[in-house]
Structure 1
Amino acid sequence: MIAIVGGGLSGLACAVELQRAGKTFALFEASPCLGGRQRTSKKDGFTLDHGFQVILSSYKTVASVCDISLLSPCRFESGALLHDGRRLTRLGSPFENPFSALLTPAFCVGDKIRLAWLGLELLLTPCTKLLARCASPDDRSTRAFLSQRGFSKSFFTRFAQPFFGGVLLDNDLATSAGLFLYYLKKFITGHAWIPAAGIQALPESLASRLPSSAIHLNRRVTAIAHEPRGLVLENGEVVSADKIILALDHPSLCRLLRLPPPSSARSVTVVYFKTQTSLYKQPRIVLPEGATRRVRHFVQITNIAPGFAPTGWHLISATILDGGNLSGKELADAAAHEIGGCFPHAAGSLEHLETIHVPYAVPDQPPGFAARNPFPDLPQHVYACGDWERGASIEAALGSGIETVKRVLCA
């Protein structure tokens, strides 16, 4: 029997692959529900994802493990709305509408040419080569890479920090340039979407393919047993297992293996507002210019998924990377002030609905991060996987689980 510890996306991908291979497995999840960090909650009829999480149509692994049509995808328009403090500018994708992108006043001519040239390079570069860069000693930070390519200061403050700072949860753009380029290619070659029922619908879709008898919720694993092989549960029970897959986030793995915790990780706070006054009509995110803003980006999410709010209401999701020492109310007030500054006609209508803080949203991914093996001393029958392995994304989490099962079956 193969035991899987962790019911997030990596663990569920492991289970789906083992099911396909006809192998006996058991999945143990410490919490009362599956999904890991892909969580969705309800409040007063509103649907609230725990973090601004999207799926890209260029994520091929997602389509390989679930029927996307059953998730009723709600699609974003490519591009974004940029607000420079005075006006709103529509930024289209130069690869979907080159004419529109060339006319946008958001970037100088030089930045438009640099971005178009970089995009063409990425279209000709395999994703495997971009990800291999994340393990290279020649990898550098995203900021250093863009600076070397000659992008202007305004490109950073108007686009790179608001957009990719929000994607990478890294306001300083210190993340691996290899990972940035991989994400940029995925955005160029696909469009973003969310399930109509919220992001948790994705892990629920994977779980629906598995036998309920193989899923064990509220079963925390506290140790690995070596003689005989197996798992030790919180209640003292020992579960026998020939092979063990630890599909956990980095901090949870360290706790289970009694190792020092990771030195750093990235958190995020999402502040939700409800309003009966629409801010704007397009199904796009808004990028407020400025490195010192609390709100990295925000979106009227009901423009994309109308079912996220009761009839007659709109739902606003604001992503904040650094709340400083502000209290919950102060942070919500600051976010409302910044959003209201972009859309003065609706400023007085924003009602704070909920604030969700995710202390561990993604692992830290500095230049060359993929060359590290944080768990080199695992026994031969124990395997580890998660988005810490190859880059924090839904695609990476699923791919890590699938590749780990391949190693297990070949051993």
Structure 2
Amino acid sequence: MSTKISIIGAGLSGLAAAITLEKAGYKPVIFEATSEAGGRVKTDLFEGYQLDHGFQVLLDAYPKAQEYFKYDELQLQRILPGAILFNTGKSMIIGDPSRHMGFLFSTLFSGLASIKDVYLLWVLYRKLQKTRDEDIFKEEEISTLAYLRKRGFSNRIINVFFKPFFTGIFLENELKTSCRMFLFVFKMFGKGYATIPKGGMGELPLQLLKRLQHTTINYDSPIAKVEEGKLILKDGQEFTSDIILIATDVAGIFNKPQQKQLSWHSCETLYFETEQRKIKKRIIGLITDSNALVNNIFYPSSLGYESKGEKELLSVTVVREHSLSEDELVRKVSEELKGFCDIKELRYLKRFTICKALPSLTHLTHSWDEEHGRLGNTIYSAGDHQLYGSSNAALLSGEMASKAIIANLQKQKNRSKAVP
């Protein structure tokens, strides 16, 4: 079709939108600020190691991920459904024995959860498996911490497990995130596994790119401003467009009266080379000390990666805010790894600082709607910040926004035909 549709951003949301538009016969043009697609989901090759931009996983139970990705081609590597908890040199393993029997005795005798906690976990698991996703996002919206306390979980399991585990997911350490997000993620963990493609998380956008046949992508094309029917690049170039979909944060490129500026959670991931793995299993490690800088650790080399380097690769995630220089941060992290996990002989490789890792949202919803997603007559927006922070929401938002565009264009076409 001759209609000019421009998409700003080649992240998961923008790529899902382009795929949907192509199916309807359109040939969109994507403007991407960087030199490659993926947005927040990218993988670098460094000294033979695959380094994801932050420790990220794909929950294979995500409904939209199942629609958009071919799991067999991604060769998803499963992380075991559990965690090893570290505190001042001591450790304990807990996990879901229903899917990995090796966790049965370690979980039962960990002393972490009371009989009541175990019962409450089972009840919540059973409840969520019977609850539709859209109904989860109709739950009373309170913080995750308030929800856990309301359900009757003990302070011990909240402080020693829920806080460190979900801090790594929510990227905030007080569990202020809406309970709707907690319930949705808890359900997804119960239905499937946390996985990483064999080629790294960057394989996700690459697979979406392969599906595009009639989309043009302009890389290294940061947008300075968006107006009705026009995009202005930072180098001064101007492009006309019948429809514009902003599949990224609109701040700085489009301003609407009384529009709230989006805030973000940030994190840092440091990669180290080690001689051996302290954690032998394919499982995440959590630092349970509330004063620790390090939140979680993981050995990507425990998985079947395409490029594994010569030794062991350790990723370390820092969520807590700090004012340390890179050298100071590496030194502090190394000290904590030695003190909490007894991990020594590290060689620092690289740090990724992700300033906009997850949108900080006060209200979460399951579906995109025009009231919030349409910014003007010809301007729309999409992204996980429209729904809830996740790759599933990014795909869903891009698809739903583009379907709204298609429907509105069809309405215009029908009206024009009706005019004598």
Q: Same fold (TM over 0.5)?
A: yes
Aligned CA RMSD, in angstroms, stands at 2.3
Structure 1 match to 2:174: 172
Structure 2 match to 1:24: 27
Structure 2 match to 1:388: 385
TM-fit CA distance, 1:237: 3.3
* Structure 2 Cα separation of the partners of residues 264 and 25 of structure 1: 29
TM-fit CA distance, 1:341: 2.7
Deviates more, 1:16-25 or 1:95-104: 95-104
Matched position secondary structure for 2:252: helix
Closer/same/farther in 2, CA of residues 263 and 201 from structure 1, 3 Å limit: closer
* C-alpha distance after superposition, 1:74-100 (max 9, x if no partner): 111111112243532221215425854
TM, length-normalised to structure 1:
0.90
Structure 1 match to 2:418: none
TM-fit CA distance, 1:53: 0.6
* C-alpha distance after superposition, 1:293-344 (max 9, x if no partner): 1111111121124445313x00111111124122212211222222223443
Matched position secondary structure for 1:245: strand
Q: For 1:343-354, what aligned pairs fall within 5 Å after superposition? A: 343-344=341-342, 346-347=343-344, 349-354=345-350
Deviates more, 1:257-266 or 1:352-361: 257-266
For the 8 Å contact 1:95–1:188, the answer to whether it is kept is no
* Structure 1 Cα separation of the partners of residues 400 and 374 of structure 2: 19
* Structure 2 Cα separation of the partners of residues 176 and 373 of structure 1: 23
* Structure 2 Cα separation of the partners of residues 78 and 341 of structure 1: 26
Matched position secondary structure for 2:220: coil
* Structure 2 Cα separation of the partners of residues 80 and 20 of structure 1: 42
Structure 2 match to 1:356: 352
* Structure 2 Cα separation of the partners of residues 373 and 383 of structure 1: 8
Q: For 1:232-381, what aligned pairs fall within 5 Å after superposition? A: 232-249=232-249, 253-258=250-255, 262=261, 264-311=263-310, 313-344=311-342, 346-347=343-344, 349-366=345-362, 368-370=363-365, 378-381=375-378
Q: Which amino acid aligns with 1:320?
A: V
Q: 2:10 pairs with 2, 7, 11, which one?
A: 7
> Are 1:224 and 2:226 an aligned pair?
yes
For the 8 Å contact 2:28–2:215, the answer to whether it is kept is no
Structure 1 match to 2:124: 118
Matched position secondary structure for 2:396: helix
TM-fit CA distance, 1:238: 3.1
List gaps (5 residues or longer) in structure 2: 409-420
Q: Which amino acid aligns with 2:401?
A: T
TM-fit CA distance, 1:106: 2.7
Structure 2 match to 1:153: 155
* Structure 2 Cα separation of the partners of residues 264 and 213 of structure 1: 31
Structure 1 match to 2:77: 74
* Structure 2 Cα separation of the partners of residues 16 and 45 of structure 1: 33
Q: Tell me how many residue pairs correspond in the alignment.
A: 398
TM-fit CA distance, 1:225: 3.8
TM-fit CA distance, 1:231: 2.2
TM-fit CA distance, 1:68: 2.1
For the 8 Å contact 1:71–1:201, the answer to whether it is kept is yes
Matched position secondary structure for 1:257: coil
* Structure 1 Cα separation of the partners of residues 85 and 396 of structure 2: 33
Matched position secondary structure for 1:36: coil
Closer/same/farther in 2, CA of residues 108 and 377 from structure 1, 3 Å limit: same
Deviates more, 1:184-193 or 1:12-21: 12-21
